[in-house]
Amino acid sequence: MNKYVVKCPECKEVQDPYALHCPNDDALLRTEYSKKQIEPADMPGIWRYYDWLPVNGIIEEGSGRPVTYRSEEFAKELGLSDLNITFNGYWPEKEAFIRTCSFKDLESFPTMQRLIENNEERIMVVASAGNTARAFAHVASITGQKLLLIVPKNSTHRLWTTDENSSSICTVTVDGDYYQAIAMAEKIAARDDFVSEGGARNVARRDGMGTVMLDAVLTTKSLPHHYFQAVGSGTGGISAWEASIRLLEDGRFGNNMPRLHLAQNLPCAPLYSLWTGIELTGRCPEEMHDDVLYNRKPPYSAIGGVKDALDDTNGMIYGISNKEAESAQNLFEESEGIDILPAPGVACAALIKAVDSGEIKTDDQIVLNITGGGQKRLEEEFPTQQLEIGLTVSPTDPDAERKILEKVSELFGKGGY
């Protein structure tokens, strides 16, 4: 029996394991695993959850994983008795060793492993607002897989690495926002010698992020009442929901579906607007506490997308101001004793808002996904360096595509594209 199949949740047809779309509808394809009860594997990093990752091998070097612990100080500040923090970053004292300090590593490693298993020789194209680019650069440095990163120009400060070998990576910045970087990446990825990493439709990315819920539940031995996370596209929320469905089927962790509490950064909060019907205006992403949370076209209405996840979990989306996010981030850092990225500060603010409004009870079991942290802690131990920017293009330049292809060819040699 195969370890897993990839199936459409709408038409129920099994698809090619590397497919990104169902030919019959717009549903997000979903992985079904032959093993219905997960057993932690004696493997490094994320591969601890090998049973429920769509891979048949591992990339051993450089892999980290989520680490769940019970909060004392931050929980005390909020008056909560059962707050569990799932930390994704670098915090050796908690045995957290994600070297990019972002949970995007959880997506990049299984995605890269599947490319290797599929004997993929094409150049992988990744569009990112920064953290995903850093994660894919990290794993590409380990494997030597050719990688084209397309990133908004204002996100270049996030393109750092602790890896010395980045010769397989071509980095292009777009003088525009994340959506324009995505549009440019899609044009390049449509060419014969390139392959897209798939975004929200890639089951490896979603199941990788789903390990946050797996770690939380395997640590606490029960499904939580509530799950909090800051989101841009909302794919992390979908991933937590899908993992919860599998854990319910496992049968050992209770029978309550965790309620999703997703948070977006005002005023640039498309999911919040879609969910609440509230129209927002502002300069996006300039007016954001963290612009990695801005995605103009999230997978909201697709079958198995954000709306379905919220409907099935009785979930909700919070709109968080910059002031609320900054205050919550500072409170978390002061109470827990570790630095975090700005995005999880938005999640912390949503948790505070839920407590203040009575949306959650003080004795409810809660999981808070800290999607990135420990960068200052990492820099105490490792030198970091910026990825070299090979080219900057304008999204309105009719020759932008040609210029990118020429740069890729120059870096990877004749026939590089």
**DSSP letters of 254-295?**
-SPPPEEEEEEETTS-HHHHHHH-------TTTT-S-GGG--
What helix, strand, coil percent values describe the chain, rounded to 5? 40, 20, 40
Q: What is the length of the chain?
A: 417
Q: What is the pLDDT of residue 413?
A: 77
pLDDT of residue 179: 87
Give which of 70, 73, 107, 66 is closest to 87, Cα–Cα: 66
Whether this model's pTM surpasses 0.85: yes
pLDDT of 294-342, one tens digit each?
Answer: 998 899 999 999 999 999 999 999 999 999 999 999 999 999 999 999 9
Q: How far out from the chain centre does Cα 374 lie?
A: 17
Q: Measured between alpha carbons, how far is residue 56 from residues 17, 204, 361 in Å?
A: 12, 12, 42
Domains in the chain, ordered, with CATH? Answer: 67-101+205-378 (3.40.50.1100), 123-192+387-412 (3.40.50)
Give the angle subtended at the CA of 220 by the CAs of 217 and 222, to the nearest 5°: 60
pLDDT above 90: percentage of residues in the chain: 94
Q: Tell me the CA distances in angstroms from 155 to 127, 194, 241, 348, 412, one per residue in order.
A: 11, 23, 29, 23, 24
d(CA 114, CA 127): 18
Tens of pLDDT, residue by residue over 23-53, are 999 999 999 999 999 999 999 999 999 999 9
- Which amino acid would we find at residue 138? H
| pLDDT exceeds 70 at position 415 | no
Q: Which residue in 371, 302, 293 sits closest to 332, CA to CA?
A: 371
128 neighbors 155 (Cβ within 8 angstroms): yes
